[in-house]
Chains A and B, each alone.
Chain A
């Protein structure tokens, strides 16, 4: 393999065939891999040293913006935690995003409002305050003697002060955490918590791998496991790996991480110490004592596989009145979807003027709704206008709509938009790419007021961050939730593509189940 090919590969000038040839050669030759690595190192270093000033200044601007944006929240936090916080919370000040330099000041001034991934209706008025604090986890269960600073089922970022008892919650990524009081835990993101004091035990399924527990003295990154962490009042922290593997490091930020497996325990006691101290295993003293989240049964389950040419598809769920659903609606066969190849077996094919109504017959007392389906969108047909994918009749003016943004509406054409009345939230992932994607809309209702409380969108098993694209308001008059779900639209504003494997639940299903549904097909 010659230098001509290596340079072509580094500069991205090789075609697919030549790239594949080189990669095959790289697999077979240690010497070639070393050569490529050396060439890449000097290629990048020369590029930096001969950099024009504008790039250098952008970099420096990004650093200063991050430093100026940094604030104190009164909680003792590790330096590494602060760095991680910069990386996760404030995407706008990370280097790559600072290329949009002009937008930085405005974005940061607006703060987390841009990261809101839900809305929370509030008394029929503008729900701006709640929208700035997206819910990151759901309290699954609490012990009878639990006293804690909350009371809401869905919790946002911030300090969770458990004075006594036990409390279990599931993050939107699917990690399940049980804490024992007295404990102070700061929920920082769907994938990270800061345990200031107290103890926790966490079970992290594969889709939430990378879930991180920071303490004043230690950083614990899950790689697929179950572990317990205890933090003393002075910040001394102990980690016990019960199953699987975790990476742990001192919060000093200068030590390298250690890989720990089941049956191992370590302690970190001083921020100035970069090493973790091995201690005798203490994981046997920790156990889950509350109910774990369990999978829910769908009220509607349509796979579209047993039509037999009749235009009627059998509902796999147990609702007697919903045994069959006709794919030919009242508007006639020309306005109805057609059977087509699905993600598994048959699916339904839609044009912009075709729709399918699915009566749900859900109870008015339903605690929420989850709509799960697979969709493949015709990327070539997407234009400036948005496509309505699903319309959920909530029984009042605040109908929920899932749409695909056109180039005029969404921040990213082809991304998800969640709309209610005139309100709108917009995602950042283009799914109008001709491939199958798993979409889930999960809506929870406050059991006391029955108003909609929170909403999340998942794409391919992962929570999608939604940004506000307009004012957010939603009436709390939503007393009758979900008489009907409509896919597509009959006024030419629907979508072009296919759907399959539709499931509707009369509840907000747990996050792990969202991933399981996705995983059952994607495998």
Chain B
């Protein structure tokens, strides 16, 4: 944990809420992305992240400021995710929540506690070719649908959808290879 975060945690422990806002700013993106990979259900991602930050603040006095705050957050989130997964698995699979059951019941094989998971994903996204980065930007930043993207890129709608799937598959392989290298080196 760098000195800046250590200082921020100490300030929070002394009651400084502004310091916690700074910690939020540092960690909210990556924590939410971490949760998204583990439990990709839209309405739960921010809710679990929200609860994780609340829990962390409520327990900040128990946290050692010289250790990794982000790792602690992910551990809290992971426990909350497991709780949600258990709840979902108890429910009957039906038409209404079939999609969510599929998402909960087929977990990806990522190591849940891999601290570098999101960093690797960010690196892999940056390494994508320009045309693929453009496609991601149109979908995720501009919020365009497949018809709009196909018109802008001069491609068919099927091409747009298929390419998006392939990009995500490529990102998964990229992240997995980085994790493997990281584990060999550690």
Contact = CB atoms under 8 A, between A and B. Distances in A.
Interface of A: 2-9, 11, 13, 23, 26, 30, 33-34, 36-52, 56, 59-60, 62-64, 66-68, 70, 79, 82-83, 86-87, 94-96, 223, 247, 249, 253-257
B50 A253 contact: no
9 contacts: A33-B105, A41-B40, A42-B171, A48-B32, A50-B125, A59-B46, A63-B24, A66-B54, A256-B79
B164 interface: yes
Contacts of A87: 51
Contact of B58 (A37, A42, A79): A79
Contacts of A49: 29, 33, 118, 121-122, 125
Given A36-B102, A59-B50, A256-B82, A48 B45 contact: yes
B55 A79 contact: yes
A28 B58 CA distance: 45
A352 to B, nearest CB: 34
Interface in B31-79: 32-34, 36-38, 40, 42-43, 45-47, 49-51, 53-55, 57-59, 75-76, 79
Given A38-B108, A41-B36, A256-B86, A7 B146 contact: yes
Contacts of B164: 7
Contact of A43 (B76, B125, B141, B168): B168
A59 B108 CA distance: 26
A311 B102 CA distance: 54
Given A26-B102, A67-B57, A48 B165 contact: no
Majority secondary structure of chain B interface residues (helix, strand, loop or mixed): helix
Nearest 8 interchain pairs by C-beta: A3-B165, A44-B36, A7-B161, A37-B106, A42-B168, A40-B40, A45-B36, A50-B140
A247 B87 CA distance: 10
Contacts of B49: 59, 95
A218 to B, nearest CB: 15
B138 to A, nearest CB: 11
B25 interface: yes
Contacts of B42: 44
Given A4-B158, A63-B53, 13 more contacts: A3-B161, A6-B161, A6-B165, A37-B102, A39-B168, A41-B38, A50-B140, A51-B32, A64-B20, A67-B54, A83-B51, A83-B55, A86-B51
A257 B83 contact: yes
Contacts of B118: 45, 49
